[in-house]
Amino acid sequence: MTDKQINVAMAGALGKVADYCNDLNAMHEAEGTLDREQLGLYVDSIISTIHEVDSGYFHKIHWGHAVELTTATARQRSEAFLKTKGLWKP
């Protein structure tokens, strides 16, 4: 998806227009809407997005991935969020 498509999909999911692909603050707000189960899927999605592997590959998070989780870009977080919500379009 392009950045514009991602931002439109995110706005549709959250009811708020923002530059989700480039704004970590907007993504932080979006992350706050996820429930506990969705957060687990979201974390898995971030790692799979960074490593470009299928979701579910990292069933258990290793400490080495903690840095990746905290340094994921706004775009990577946006992609993971949309995958978690079932809104990602390849």
Distance CA 30, CA 59 (A): 23
When pLDDT is cut at 50, 70 and 90, the band that residue 50 belongs to is confident
pLDDT score of 68: 72
The full length of the chain comes to: 90
pLDDT score of 61: 54
57: pLDDT strictly greater than 60: no
Ranges of each domain in the chain? 3-84
Which tokens hold the place of 20?
């989700």
Which tokens hold the place of 41?
């899927």
More confident residue, 4 or 45: 4
> What number is the average pLDDT over the span 45-63?
63
Give the predicted TM-score (pTM) of the model: 0.81
